[in-house]
Amino acid sequence: GDSVTQMEGPVTLSEEACLTINCTYTATGYPSLFWYVQYPGEGLQLLLKATKADDKGSNKGFEATYRKETTSFHLEKGSVQVSDSAVYFCALSGWNTGNQFYFGTGTSLTVIP
């Protein structure tokens, strides 16, 4: 079945460090891929998405590229800030999943000053 596997955390970085959170997926067809972020005490909100191969989603300095050949959608940021501390979830959805969303287990990021 369809699934998402993402890098386990927790991840602790110093401010201005580079971030990569790995995400790989298994799916039939061509799903849309998403990164959601959950700040402490809040619900999840969309960070970025990509709907077809080679698309790059970007938002708030974060980027992720839909790589069909490696079935990956890694999240990257060149310089993290304390305010980026949150839990990040990779997810997929599409017609072949009945439009259900499949989430990874989440990666907790803490950025220290």
Q: Which residues here bind another protein, judged by CB under 8 A?
A: 31-32, 34, 36, 42-46, 49, 51, 89, 91, 93-95, 99-101, 103-106
Residue closer to another protein, measured from CB, 83 or 95: 95
Minimum CB–partner distance for residue 79 and another protein (Å): 26
Closer to another protein by CB, 17 or 58: give it: 58
Shortest Å, Cβ 32 to another protein: 5
User: For 41, which DSSP code?
Assistant: T
- CA dihedral of 58, 70, 91, 46, whole degrees rounded to 10: 0
Residue 113 burial class via C-beta count within 10 angstroms: exposed 0-12, middle 13-18, buried 19 and up: exposed
- The answer to whether the CB of 23 falls within 8 A of the CB of 17 is no
Nearer to another protein, 29 or 113 (CB): 29
